[in-house]
Structure 1
C-alpha cells in the first residue's frame, strides 16, 4: 500500500519511499493462482480451473471459487455457493438468516443472488488482503478460513432445511 506525504508547498502528494527490507530478509511471495493450486495439491484436494482460469472445487457438496481480485489481484476471495437453490417465496426468510449471521459473525459474508430463472443462490465469502504477499502457511490459513467459515454457514442451512431425500418417506394415511 502506498504511503503519502506532503512536501512543503507542494500541491500534489508525493509517494513516500517504501521502507527497505532488513538485510538478509526475503520478500514474502506473491499470491498467485499457481500457488493456490499448489496448496490444493499439497493437501490432496481435487480442484478445477474454469474457462477464465479461475480455480474452483467441491467441498461438502458446495461449489467454491478461489478468486484473485482488485486491480493488482491483491484480494484473495474464497466464495462458496450452497448446494441447494431456494424458491423466491423464501427470500425474506433467507435474507433474515444471512443478516443475522452477518451481524453476529465477522466471517463469512453471506448473501443471496437471484438467478435468471427466479430461484435464489445462497453465497458465503471470505476476502483477505494479500497485497504484501503471503508465505505458504499464511496462504493455507486464508484458504482454510474461507472454506471452513463458509462450510459452517452452509451446515447451519442444512440443519434448518434438511434435504427431503434424506428424510424417511411420509406415510400416506
Structure 2
C-alpha cells in the first residue's frame, strides 16, 4: 500500500473554497510501522526507531511515539507524546487545571500528568485508534497527521497558558 502525497491534509494551506486534495476512498487497510514511516517521510519529519521497536519523532521539547499494541481485533494504534519540560509537585495543581481546560476544549491529544519517583511531573499526550478489522487509508492518514499537528499545538498552547514564552524558541521543528 502507498500513500498519495496529495491526500495528506494541509492545515491552513488550502483556501476555504478549494475542495480537499486526494482521491476518495482509499480502501480498508491494516496499518503497520512501514506505512507510518512512509507517512512521516512524506511529512518530512525525522524519526528514529527506539530500543522497543517503536517509531519516535523528536522535537526540541518533546518526543512523539507511533506505537502498535495488541493483536487482531484488539490491536490499537497510539500516538503518544512525552513532553520533556519538568514541573515540580507544587506545580501539579496548576498543571491539572490547565490540561483539564485543554481536554475539555479539544479532541486530541488527551493530556495527563505523570509523576516520576523523584517527584518530577511531566505531561503526556495521547490519541488512539482501534484498528479492529482494518481502517480506511484516508482516515488513518488524516488522523495521524492531525494528531501530530495537535501535539505540536498543545506544546505551544501550554507554554502560553503557563507563561513560559521565554523558554520556547521555535519548538515546532523536529530533530532540533
* TM-score between both structures, scaled by the size of structure 2: 0.70
Relative contact order, CA 8 A, sep 6+: which one is greater? Answer: 2
Q: Distance in 1 between matches of 2:127 and 2:60?
A: 17
Larger radius of gyration: 1
Equivalence for 2:44: 44
Question: Within the alignment, does 1:129 sit opposite 2:130 as a pair?
Answer: yes
Q: Does 1:144 align with 2:145?
A: yes
4+ residue runs over 6 A deviation: none
Shift of 1:50: 0.7
**Offset at residue 114 of structure 1 (A):** 0.5
CA shift at 1:163, angstroms?
5.1
Please list every run of 5 or more consecutive structure 1 residues that lacks an aligned counterpart in the other structure.
Answer: 1-25, 168-173
Shift of 1:66: 0.7
- Whether 1:97 aligns to 2:103 is no
How many residue pairs get matched?
A: 142
Report deviation, 1:135.
Answer: 4.7
Structure 2: state its 5+ residue gaps: 1-25, 170-176
Question: For 1:84 and 1:163, how far apart are their aligned partners in 2?
Answer: 13
CA distance in 2, matches of 1:116, 1:46: 31
> Are residues 33 and 162 of structure 1, via their aligned partners in 2, closer, same or farther at CA, if it must alter by over 3 Å?
same
Q: Aligned-pair RMSD on alpha carbons?
A: 2.4
Shift in CA distance, 44/152, structure 1 to aligned 2, threshold 3 Å: closer
- Tell me the residue number matched to 2:114: 113
Supply the distance in 2 between the matched residues of 1:27 and 1:152 (Cα, whole angstroms). 30
How far does residue 139 in structure 1 lie from its aligned partner after superposition? 2.5
Question: Is the Cα contact below 8 Å between 1:60 and 1:151 reproduced in 2?
Answer: no
Structure 2 partner of 1:153 = 154
